[in-house]
Structure formats: C-alpha cells, structure tokens
Structure 1
C-alpha cells in the first residue's frame, strides 16, 4: 500500500487540459476545458484533489468545481512506478454499469481515458482527457495512426493481482504489420502467444475473430482504446488503453476479468520500438 501511495504522489501538481467526449465509432464530440489540481498536504499524507471545468476556456468562471480528499486508496485503484494508474469496477454484474479509467504520466504530460458500458454490457461511451502541467511548454501529440504502430515492439509488463498474490514482471513482444486493408499482430506475453487480425476502417481497428468482437479506436494525443463491444459476467475479457509517448515508446494499461465477472489483475506494459 505504501508503494501504491508513493506512485500516486507522482501525479501531484496542477494540470491544464480538456475533457473530450468520443462516440463509440471514434468520432470526436463535445470538449470542455479543465484544471485539475492534486496537492500534497500534511507531509503528503493527505492529497487534495480539485477539478474545475469550463464551458469555453480557463479564464472564465468554472461551470463545475469538484473537490475530494485522499488519505488512502481503494483496492480497485492501482498506481504503477511511472505514476500511471488503472481503476474500475471490481465486478461485472447484470443490469449494472461497468467502467474503467486509465491514466498515464510522463514529465509534464498526462493522458487519461474513461471507458463506460451500459446496463446491458454494451460499450456506450468514451472520454479522453489530455493534460499539460501548468506553466510548462509541453505539447500534445497528434492523433494516433496505424502507421505509427507498425513494426516490432519489445518491453516489460508488470502485473498486480487483486487477490494479493505476488506481482509479476514479464517480457512482452508485439509485432504489427499491415497487409492491404488489414492489420496483423503477434503478441508474446510471458508464456502466451496470440495472433490476431483487424480490419482497418479510418481510425478504427475491428477485430472480428473469436467469440467477442473487439474495437480499437485511434485517438488524439497518441491514445488508443481497446475494448470488447459486449461484456458479460459469464465470460473472461480485458479492457485496455494505450499511449504513444514518442515515436519509439508506447505504454499500455490492461484490466483483466475472469469468467465470473471478477476483476483479477491490472497490468502496465512499457514497450520500445526495436524494428
């Protein structure tokens, strides 16, 4: 728990950004400006969060002003060494909304993503949050493209388990190729080897093989969303967000659920282009 709190503190500061609503087909909808402040108090034993949102820009009066204090973190909220985090529903239940939130941090930049599913378990909405540390000249990256993902990526994946069993670090290798209108990828993760093919349609990747179709959306600021179109408490699944920090470094956050709909693990992968 102390490690989790220490990693949380890597997000302290004032962050200016925006909340952008994204349709399930990847179309960008409405956007609002924001200022998020995470302030450490009482020798960083207390963190005070303040989120202000604005109709047009941050020079106006906020349309919403929310505050919250943290002295501890819930079990469903996992922070990793870089300050990246993953949180979400502990259990998939019939006729209950399901959601997952991810956050990446690197220097003076943060990127966050919220995925929501409706009462029937269908993918319903997406929110992209792009943030820059106030007073810095950090810039946001352009929208992610298929071409930026092509090649071979290698790195490590650190997994935290919900039942408190020891965390694991695995070598991960991902090779992505494009053939005509399709994307082919081969993933090696520990002892697992997975091959998959997607149909490319604009900023959408449609993985239509297998029991549950999946959709990857390529979004502004190098962010990607990877979700099944339908979830169930009777079938295992995972949800994922990615962030291309630079041309040659990408991070991914994955939340995994078992065939009882229970959250079982969170993984943070850091990958570098090697070919």
Structure 2
C-alpha cells in the first residue's frame, strides 16, 4: 500500500479465490474467515499483500490468545465509556471541508463478564428553527441516534474489530449502512420534512456502500481522540471522508477544530510529513482479542524533487531482524490529493491528518489482490500515529496495524 510513509513486510501468498464479475459487490462479505489471519502490515508499491493460512503452531497460538478476549473487551469499553464533546467534519476526496456540525456522544456499559456490552448514543446539534421568534434565546436542539451495541457477538461477526489496548487505538468496519442511515440521512444531516437537504453542501453517501471503515486514534497529549471514516461507494471508489474530533467531557468547554495551530506555519499540508521517520509497528489479526502477528522497526523517508514529484523510500525490519524489506515509490500531488504509481491515493486533511485508500478497490478485487485503508494523525510536529486496515480479496478485514513514528530529519 502506497502512502506518504508506510512500512512494509513481505507476506506469503494464499490461494486465490475465483472472482465472479457478475457480483455487484464482491467485497461486502461479512465475518472473519479463520483461514485468513492477516499477518501482513502493508505492501508499499503493491496492492496485493496476501494473507496466509495459519500453520498448526499459529492456530494453537490463536486459540490461547482467544482466552484474553473478555479482558480486552472490558479494556475497549473502559476506553470508550464517558461523555464526549466534539464535531463531525465531512470532506470530499480532494480534502475540501464540506461541512462541520457539533456533536456529543454518550457511552456507557451494562452486563458483566461475557455479557458486557457498550451502548452509545450520538447527539447532533440541530440548526435554529426557521419559525423561531426573533430575539428569542432558545436552547439548541440535539437529535438523538442510537449506535449498534458492541459486545462479544458484534465485535467479530459484524464490526471485525482490531484493537490495540496499550496504544489506545482501534479499527472496525460496519456490516451495513446502518450508521449512514441513522447519522447522515436523518434530521440535521439528512432531508428534513420539506425534502430539502440541511445543512447545505452535505453530500449524502450511497444507500449501499461497499465499505464503511472506522479508524480511531487517541491523542498522546490530551484525553482526546480522532475517529476517521472511509466510505466507499458500491463500485469500490472512495466517496467521502468523515472525521469526528472529540474530547472527553471534563467540564471545560471544547471547540474542536482540525486547524492545529502548531501546524499552521506550513503553506502546504504535505510539508509536515516530509523528511525521515523512524518508528515501530504492531500488527494484529481481526477480532477484539487480536493475536499479535508481527512487530517491526521501520525507517521511512519522503522527499519532493524539483519537479514536484514525491519520492518515498522505506526500510522495514522484522522483530527478529532476519527480514528487511526495502521499497522505493513515487507519486504526484494535485492540491491535497496524492496519487502514487500502482493505484493508491492519499487525501491530505487539515490538522495534520491524512487518509489513504486504493483508487479503485473493485480493480484490486478483480485482480485477486488485497487492499488497505490508512489513517494518520500528526497531532504535534515530529510525532505521528498511523492505523492501517488490511482487507482480503473478499473484503474481509483480516488485520490491523498500529504505527508510532518520530521524525528524525526534515
């Protein structure tokens, strides 16, 4: 997977499945196949990092790791419980902000042990009523939406969660467009009683998106987080990008913005990412218990030549030091959209963020190649976190990779 600075590990091939071109959505399969543990991080310069079937020893390791699932589910719930204040940001694929709406999220739990569940309610601030009396100081209205519960049943079957408890990061996908139906099509983010869209400029997604992936990174400086959503249309082309920037309610007013003042000195969103980066990655297979598949050290450099081309070099060394992978990659930039050779694109967002995805997922599926989605948050100069989600050729989320990196030279 090409990206501004992506580490890569070699991954052994798995048997290809036959793709039927008559299937309109070949990558909307649900569930986690036990034959695809997904132990690759990502393949820069190739859209086809393959997931391999586990051998006997690794299958045994997965079985032992499963006994920790309840503990990690409790950790995940504790990480999310509370009241969160923030804002919803919608971007087009070129990184242009289409709309921003204030939000609140209330998360609590009920049940014990294996029956514990996380319940969440999203509140979206409504625009002032057109029938309000002039001069009347009315409290704002908040539309309420229930989000699907998270429990031992849903995390694997529907949400295919990849969770990093110590790093405070997670990724999940949605089985249906339920999140879109309730959050984007109703009330303030959908059509009102008159049939007009409100607020203006909000683009509504397809009714049957092929993939909806959520990636969440927590701040390393404050009790704050960024939740990013890749939404792909039925043909597998990125349709829109969503960011929820939220802070746990501590009684202090929070006015979220993606325009990080520490990064405002740059004229271009690409500048903070240029230079040499060193970091470490952790890759886990899907599922809330997430067996650790691989760890690696990575060194990545990103430069821009005199013609404006981006040149990326990556060296990734496995945890035991036995395998080192070197990758050379080039790309071009147009405004805030970067397109790499090989069919991968990245959208630069304000606030030190970018989101990456294949230019055409359907093409990867047709060629029996896996694909990757990425979210990066450079919260402060020189330090960033990245979350990479790997899918197999059927659209199953087979692994998640978390990276923490530090800039060593500019």
Please tell me the TM-score bracket, short chain as reference: 0.7 to 0.9
Aligned-partner Cα distance in 2 for 1:182–1:49: 44
Give 1:53's aligned residue: 124
Where do 1:230-245 residues align within 5 Å? 230-232=360-362, 233=365, 234-245=368-379
Give 2:216's aligned residue: 103
Where do 1:55-204 residues align within 5 Å? 55-56=126-127, 60-72=140-152, 74-75=155-156, 76-80=160-164, 81-88=166-173, 97-106=210-219, 107-134=222-249, 135-136=251-252, 140=257, 142=259, 145-162=269-286, 166-180=292-306, 181-190=308-317, 191-204=324-337
Moved more, 13-22 or 256-265: 256-265
CA RMSD of aligned residues (A): 2.6
Aligned-partner Cα distance in 2 for 1:115–1:68: 18
Aligned-partner Cα distance in 1 for 2:408–2:174: 35
Moved more, 11-20 or 129-138: 129-138
Larger relative strand fraction: 1
Contact in 2 for aligned 1:10/1:82 (Cα 8 Å):
no
Give the number of aligned pairs: 267
TM-score by length of 1: 0.86
Aligned-partner Cα distance in 2 for 1:20–1:141: 9
Aligned-partner Cα distance in 2 for 1:26–1:184: 21
Q: Structure 2: 5+ residue runs without aligned partners?
A: 1-68, 129-138, 176-207, 264-268, 318-323
Contact in 2 for aligned 1:130/1:221 (Cα 8 Å):
no
Max Rg structure: 2
Contact in 2 for aligned 1:203/1:218 (Cα 8 Å):
yes
Contact in 2 for aligned 1:19/1:130 (Cα 8 Å):
yes
Deviation per CA, 1:151-180, whole angstroms, max 9, x where unpaired?
Answer: 111111110124976432211221111223
Q: Aligned with 1:221: secondary structure?
A: coil
